[in-house]
Amino acid sequence: MEFAFPDTTTFPALLVPKEPSPENSVGITSTVPIEIIFAAGYVPVDLNNIFITDDDPLWLVDKAENAGLPRNNCAWIKGLFSAVKKLNIKKVIGVIEGDCSNTHALMEVFGTEGVEVIPFKYPYGRDRTLLQAQLNTLAGALGTDMEKAETVKRELDRVRSVVHEIDRLTYEEGKVTGEENHIWTVSTSDMMGNVALFEEKAKAFIAEARERAPIRHTVRLGYIGVPPICGGIYNLIDELDAHVVFNEIQRQFSMPYPTDNLIEQYARYTYPYDAHGRLEDIACEVERRN
């Protein structure tokens, strides 16, 4: 499945399905090595983004509950379930270690629904040997190899650097809003299914943003933790005269550190590991963005 951008804007506020191909799509429950997915000829689809950008995400939650998921279960999990149903996705990579513990049960449900489930684990302690084994297993499951995936990494590194410039324009020049920063960085989890178009639109957005007057809010704010499930939070913050200059986890999706290979890249990615690594990154970015 491909996702196109609205023709009217360089800001990807809305995912637009184009030429649906469930057989060619791979749903992901969290950020995973998309380099391997692209190398295998598949299109990654971040199910979280499908859920939260739906015209009526609460309806997707209700739909999951009507299908039997418990009412006291995490809304994100119910949204992921309904996103797979909505797009008729046949294959899902589920992060069963290093993310929400309910994902394991969700993968069991998908298995009973005829969806092919591929588990992925971020190993405790950032163990490089175990992580390498996970990358190799994922590549084998998708019918590719790590050499091809490393080639894709070099392409995506270039695209990610464009998003890193959007991030810099947020905190250093004040030309990008916190919400725009959020959308661009969170979208790097799957590059919206079209790397070339994503890069083109990101560069166009930068050109537009550089012409703006700087944002002059009183408070410089950081957003820590998983991306918001509540709509309108950035607008509310803006109305309170604050500028979000740091979106922690969304920035991590963009793989902000320069690395030579996928093992190192996904070992340095802070979200799935211990809190100490996240706190070190947060402290560094607070100092940089203050």
Encode pLDDT of 166-183 as tens digits: 999 999 999 999 999 999
136 and 152 both lie in a single domain = no
Compute CA distances 172 → 93, 272, 282, whole Å.
36, 28, 17
DSSP-derived 3-state class of residue 49: helix
Q: Which helix (DSSP H) or strand (DSSP E) does residue 41 occupy?
A: none
Lowest mean pLDDT among 44-58, 115-129, 261-275: 44-58
For position 21, what pLDDT does the model report? 75
**Is the distance from CB of 100 to CB of 77 less than 8 angstroms?**
yes
Sequence-separated (6 or more) residues with CB below 8 Å from residue 106: 29, 77, 80, 81, 94
pLDDT value at 210 more than 80: yes
Compute CA distances 98 → 80, 102, 273, whole Å.
17, 11, 6
Domain boundary among 146, 177, 201: 146
For position 101, what pLDDT does the model report? 87
Give the integer Cα–Cα distance in Å for 186 and 198: 12
Per the prediction, the chain carries an average pLDDT of 93
33 and 130 both lie in a single domain = yes
25 and 62 both lie in a single domain = yes
225 and 210 both lie in a single domain = yes
Name which of 212, 167, 210, 215 is nearest 188 in CA terms. 167
For position 10, what pLDDT does the model report? 45
128 and 7 both lie in a single domain = yes
What is the arithmetic mean of pLDDT over 44-48? 95
252 half-sphere exposure, CB direction, 13 A CA radius:
24
Name which of 150, 152, 151, 118 is nearest 29 in CA terms. 118
DSSP-derived 3-state class of residue 257: coil
107 and 173 both lie in a single domain = no
Give the integer Cα–Cα distance in Å for 26 and 280: 33
Lowest mean pLDDT among 6-20, 83-97, 171-185, 203-217: 6-20
pLDDT value at 224 more than 70: yes
139 and 13 both lie in a single domain = yes
pLDDT value at 225 more than 80: yes
What is the arithmetic mean of pLDDT over 256-269? 98
Per DSSP bridges, beta strands 2-4 and 16-18 are antiparallel
Encode pLDDT of 68-122 as tens digits: 999 999 999 999 999 999 999 999 999 999 898 899 999 999 999 999 999 999 9
205 and 112 both lie in a single domain = no
For position 245, what pLDDT does the model report? 98
Q: What percent of the chain has pLDDT over 90?
A: 87
111 and 158 both lie in a single domain = no
pLDDT value at 9 more than 90: no
285 and 161 both lie in a single domain = yes
The residue segments making up the domain with residue 48 are 2-146
